[in-house]
Amino acid sequence: MRLYAFPLFGLFGIYWYLVRYIRRTSLLADTVDARRRAHNNVRDLIVIKRLLIIVVLLILLGLPSIIFMIMFIFTGHLLSITYRIGWLFVSFSLVLLVFLLIRYTVPLRQTVKRLIGVRQRHIVPQ
């Protein structure tokens, strides 16, 4: 419970606070203009969608550890491969989180592209 549920509840709490903050700033900055409201709603939807993708992937990557812990509760012993599989999924989730962070954060993505040396081709109309 301490290893899986508390961090997950903490993550949900942070995301819930973030969504409330975005919604509150959207309402404060909202004007009568329907386009601005629609733009704010689209932005909120994108943020919520990205957060849900990250949370669902983290939950799925934590499932093997939970299965092994449930097996330990019922049987009283762990399999010999428990730690290896657990560390494999932890390592994979850290790599995946870094990838998703770079993919979903535009300034970070541009910085990584600049460091790697990826050049964007600008097409100039003639």
Chain segment 93-106, per-residue pLDDT in tens = 888 888 888 888 88
Please state the domain extents for the chain: 5-115
pLDDT digits (tens, 9 = 90+) for 27-37: 555 455 666 77
28 vs 48 pLDDT, higher one: 48
Question: In angstroms, rounded to a whole number, what is the distance separating the alpha carbons of residues 1 and 4?
Answer: 5
DSSP label of 67: H
Residue 120 pLDDT exceeds 70: no
For the ranges 8-17, 20-29, 53-62, the lowest mean pLDDT is seen at 20-29
DSSP label of 80: T
From residue 36, give the alpha-carbon distance in Å to each of 23, 32, 120.
13, 8, 30
Residue 49 pLDDT exceeds 80: yes
- Given this model, what pLDDT does residue 30 score? 47
Contact 28, 34 (CB under 8 A): no
Mean pLDDT of all residues in 54-68 = 83
Question: In angstroms, rounded to a whole number, what is the distance separating the alpha carbons of residues 64 and 84?
Answer: 11
Q: Could you tell me the pTM of the whole model?
A: 0.57
**Quick one: what percent of the chain has pLDDT higher than 90?**
0
What is the token pair recorded at 45? 């939807």
- Given this model, what pLDDT does residue 106 score? 80
From residue 26, give the alpha-carbon distance in Å to each of 18, 83, 121.
12, 45, 35
